[in-house]
Structures are given as structure tokens and as C-alpha cells.
Amino acid sequence: MAICILGISAFYHDSAAAIIIDGKIIAAAQEERFTRIKHDASFPENAIRYVLQEAGITYGQLTAVAFYDKPLLKFERLLETYHAFAPAGLLSFLTAIPVWLHEKLQMKKLLRRQLRKLEKEDDLGKGAKTKKENNKTNKVPIYFPEHHLSHAASAFYPSPFEEAAILTIDGVGEWATATICHGQGNQVKIMQELRFPNSIGLLYSAFTYYLGFKVNSGEYKLMGLAPYGDPQSPETILFKEKILSALVDIREDGSILLNMSYFRFVTGLRMTNDKKWATLLGIPRRQPESAITPSHRNLALAMQQVTEMIVVALARTAQRITGSKNLVMAGGVALNGVANYQLLLAGCFDNIWIQPAAGDAGGALGAALAAYHIAEQMPRIMRGQPPGPDAMQAALLGPAYTRQQIATVIHRYNATAEYVADFSMLSARVSELLAAGKVIGWFQDRMEFGPRALGNRSILADPRNPCMQQYINLQIKAREAFRPFAPSVLEEDAAAYFDMQGPSPYMLFVTPLKAALRFPVPENYRQNIYERLNDPRSPVPAVTHVDYSARIQTVSKTAHPKYWQLIHDFKALTGCPMLINTSFNVRGAPIVCSPEDAFLAFMHTAIDYLVMGNYLLERAKQTAVQNIPAQEYMPD
């Protein structure tokens, strides 16, 4: 009988569901993609329905359910923290504790209540049930692996390694904020952990907040802003010195101690003591949407440099205590591609693999894998001779839609579309449109799991166009002009353009452009953040960041045959083996999931063409479109 495990993450941010059957990952998706609420934290009922449907099973056929953390242990941390800092934090205490007493302390009951809805859906149309038959929900065991064990499991079990050091770094789980583990066979052993309130993730989020971005979503902006800082500036150097002398004490092993007099995330409803930070740094907190000054850029750079120091030190410790040549990573900080490249340069490990859904959404997958391999004591099944392919199936674990489903959406809105039966002909035509400067919405097959669009729910454009970065940011995605774009480059051509050290299929390494391809720096290059965007920095300026780096996605013919074909056709036409790839969404909205999501985003933006399956839609021809609802998402 098959062992079917449902994994769930919920009630903090980025709720998700995942399902595995006999150790194979069948499906995984974030709840936000279905509800269209960015970072949706609610119970992932839509995601659960999807993964069960994809697996072809009902709730009653599950072997177990796994939730991604231990609520009681987290409650213990809250109580002990409030007690330690009392009377400070009273407002935070009064806000948080009622929610815990009424809901989160009863997590098992809450989960069973929500899951019982799914059971009732299974039973619809099957006639009356006996009391015994209606108690299936209570018979399915629910496991509660610790938060960082879920992260560690998500990193190790799908990796291509039989044995590896495991590094997890995020804001906080129950008590742990970072762990070093050792994975061997089907076991994960926790070796060391860093505990709350000392947290690399919360330190980074504090700077995200102080620089005027949203916590738990704006950390990418801080990382993207950092290269605009001047590493030789006395201000940058001074910021870094002040961070290291006053805010955080970094030990040789990578563990840290935060000076909590500067922070408010333990006892308050804000991240920082703004007054003390302003006195220390000499600049006030930036207000959201206000101008970005050179000081803001330099502060972002200083914090990024400090983060890289910590991550590299932790990795060195992980290598020392495990003796492994392989490293796997998860947790929100593992999405920092600049720090990840520094790990490659450090040379601590021969091989590094990072879970593409490294944040809390990936905890759903990790919880299911932990339940399967640890609780159920099932062995791992390696794919080929290690290190071979990973088990993530290119992270394409979300829903796919049929030709009929796409056609139904086109008909519903009276849209004009052309069906091109031969995909090779469609690919050739789209490559011509890209070369002519058109922006393409690209919707194919299964949706990606994790925060990155990897070529199935993407907006694509020509990276040779020096105006394309600002155009897509401002006119299509409605976000800050400084935000960088990733190049999707043919795997076989990547090393000709970038200083690569192996493939990067999940956009998790920010890699320098080859020196020979860099254009000289103009005079006063560092003076104006937006003027710099107008200076071509390479033959592919739209994907070359201001420090000559790029967040690379290598595209293989095996993992992404359609996407590879399109880039290959674009190369044949232009000589350029890459495309701009950014997620198919606008600021404040989740990545599109369904054909309807894609069509509405197409109609509410300046995208020129939309490709859904083999259908090609041109914006200029959508004159007869009817019943388009008001824009469902607005810039945050």
C-alpha cells in the first residue's frame, strides 16, 4: 500500500501544501497562487485540494499529515521571551496571546477541523455515513516536525547527495534561527543551532524595515539595492564598522549576538529602535516610497557585506563539524543569491545545492519528507549515481492546464487568439517578436513551486535592449526602476558569459559577468542611481546589474524543453543565448497560476503578446474583449 504524506505550512506567511507518495514529490504549491493574496498566510485549502487532485487521491487515502513547525514549542518561546523582557512588550503580549489561546495552541484541533472539510468533500454523493466512517479525519496521524527540521529536510532529501552538511538560516522557527545539521541516508542529525533572539534573518529584516521596505517581502529589494552602494565610500566602510561594533557581534564560528537595545522585534510591533538607529547611523529611517539617497544605498551594501561574512563563517563551521564535501541549504536567507556565490568562492564545499522553495512555503515539502523518512523510517531513493539530478523536477510542481481550459478563458472574454499547432513554429515566431523588442507573457505547463518563475510563468524580453530594464520595471511590473532582472541562459552557453561554477537552474546564485564582456565605467557612474541604469554595462545590459553581476538561471533541454527551444531559437536569430526572465506578475500580486490569471494580467499591463500553451494573443488585436474585471491587484 502506498505511503502518502501531505505537508502543510500555514498561519505565518507563504502558506503552502505538498504531497509525496512513496518518497516521490508529486505536487506542491503556495496558497497565494489560488487566492491571489500575496504571501497568503491562511490555511492552504486550495493548495491542498490541488495537490490531492494531482496525486489522484482523496483525503481518506492519506497515510499522514505533517505540519511544518511545533506550535507548543513556539508558544513556550513567546512566554519565556515576554517574561524575560517584562514589563517591556506589554502591547505585543496583549496582541499575540489571545490569538494563541484561542487558535494556535489548539493547532491539532484546528488542522483536523480544516481537514474535515476535505473529508466531507470526499464523501459528497456517497450517501449517508456511519459515525465510525465519519471519523477518518481523526485517524490520520498529524506530525509536527520542528520548523528548522522541516527546512533541513526540504534541503537534504530532494538534493542529489547521499550525504551532506545542512545549513538552515531564517528569521525564527520555534527557538532556532539557524541550524547546522548532517544528513546521511534517510537521517538528519542536528549538530548546532543558533537561538532566538539572535537571528541573521531578523537582522537582515531589520535593515529591510529601516530602509523603507516591507519585512518578509522587501528583503529582495535590499539585496538588489546593495550593488548601487559604493564599496570604497568612507560612509559604507563606517556603516559596516558601526553594524559590527554596535548592532551585532559575529563569532568565529558564524554565530551572532544582537545588541537587543537597538531592536524592537522581541517586545514591540516594530523591527528597530528608530531613534537609537538614527543616532548610531546618522540617518533616519527611510519612509516607504520616498527617494533613495546615496546613504541608503551604502547602508544596504554594508548590511549585505555583513550578511555574507556571517553566512560564509557558518558554512565553514558546518564543513568543519560534519567533514562533508557537500552543502545543502534552506530557510529564507538561503535565497540571498549574492551570499550564495560567496560560498562558492570560499571553496568550503565541492558541491552546493539550495532548495528552490527555501522559505516557509518549502517547509510544507520538508515536513512531508521528514515524516516519510524519519517518522515512517523509509529509505531515500537516489536518482542516478550521486551527485546526479535532484528530486525537485525543476521545481515544476504546480498545476498545468489543458488546451480546452485555455480556450475556455479565451472564449469567455471574447479574446482574439491564434492557435499554432506546431510548437517549433510558435517558438520561432515568438523569438522573432522578442528580437523586435516585444515583451512576452509566457504561460506553459506546470507552475513553479517557490518564489521564482523559471520559464513556465514568466515575462520575457530581449536582454540586449538597454531600455528594457526600466521599461519592464516601470511600465509593466509597476515597481522600483533599480530592481534587477535575471537572465535565463542556455546551460551550454552560460560559461561563455558568466563566471559560472556549475549549473544554476533555480536562480539562486548571483554571478559576475565575464571581464571581457564588461563595458568601461563612465565618469560619475556612482552619483545617480537611475542615471546608471541608462549606461549600457555589457552586450546584455538589461540583465547586467550595476556591479556587473547577474542572478543566473541556466536552462537545460532536459528539464525545460519548451523554454530551452525558445531561447535556442532566439540565439539562432540574434546570436544571444539568453532572455530576460522575470515572474509573470506585477508588484503586490502573486505569480499567475491559471490561464485566467495570465490573461487578466496581460490585459492590465503593457505586455505586447501573451503565449498560453500553443495560443498566441496580440495586445493590439484585443479590441473586442468583454467583461474584463477591474484590476484585482494594486501596487503595494
- Which among 240, 172, 222 has a CA at the least distance from the CA of 202? 172
On whether the CB atoms of residues 355 and 328 are closer than 8 A, the answer is yes
Domain ranges of the chain: 147-358, 403-624
- Number of Cβ within 10 Å of residue 280's Cβ equals 17
Could you give the CA distance from residue 83 to residue 47 in angstroms, rounded to a whole number? 38
Could you give the CA distance from residue 285 to residue 304 in angstroms, rounded to a whole number? 17
pLDDT at residue 126 in the model:
54
Helical H segments across 476-519, by residue range: 494-497
Cis status of the peptide bond prior to 160, with omega within 30 of 0: no
Residue that has been written with the C-alpha cell 499554432 in this structure: 420
On whether the CB atoms of residues 16 and 361 are closer than 8 A, the answer is yes
- Which among 395, 401, 304, 309 has a CA at the least distance from the CA of 346? 309
pLDDT at residue 636 in the model:
36
pLDDT at residue 522 in the model:
72
Task: Tell me the sheet residues that pair with 488.
Answer: 553, 579
Q: What is the mean pLDDT of residues 144-158?
A: 97
On whether the CB atoms of residues 364 and 68 are closer than 8 A, the answer is yes
Q: Which tens digit of pLDDT belongs to each residue from 15-41? A: 999 999 999 999 999 999 999 999 999
Q: What is the mean pLDDT of the chain?
A: 91
Per 3-state DSSP, the chain is made up of helix, strand and coil in percentages (nearest 5) of 40, 15, 40
**337 Cβ contact partners less than 8 Å away, ≥ 6 residues apart:** 223, 507, 508, 509, 510, 551
130, pLDDT greater than 60? no
pLDDT at residue 624 in the model:
84
pLDDT at residue 81 in the model:
72
pLDDT at residue 96 in the model:
67
On whether the CB atoms of residues 354 and 23 are closer than 8 A, the answer is no
Residue 423, amino acid:
F
Q: What is the CATH number of domain 403-624?
A: 3.90.870.20
Task: Tell me whether domains 147-358 and 403-624 share a fold.
Answer: no
pLDDT at residue 125 in the model:
46
pLDDT at residue 566 in the model:
98
Residue 396, amino acid:
L
Q: What angle do CA 466, 487, 315 make, to 5 degrees?
A: 130
**CATH architecture observed for domain 147-358:** 2-Layer Sandwich (3.30)
Q: Which tens digit of pLDDT belongs to each residue from 506-550? A: 999 999 999 999 998 777 665 666 666 677 889 999 999 989 999
On whether the CB atoms of residues 265 and 208 are closer than 8 A, the answer is no
pLDDT at residue 217 in the model:
86
**470 Cβ contact partners less than 8 Å away, ≥ 6 residues apart:** 481, 530, 533, 534
What is each CA distance from 312 to 167, 265, 301, in whole angstroms? 11, 25, 17
Q: How many helices (H) and strands (E) does the chain have?
A: 20, 21
pLDDT at residue 219 in the model:
94
| Model confidence band, residue 108 (pLDDT cutoffs 50, 70, 90) | confident
**603 Cβ contact partners less than 8 Å away, ≥ 6 residues apart:** 413, 622, 625, 628
pTM listed for this prediction? 0.93
What is each CA distance from 285 to 47, 233, 307, 404, 437, in whole angstroms? 38, 20, 20, 52, 39
Could you give the CA distance from residue 473 to residue 484 in angstroms, rounded to a whole number? 9
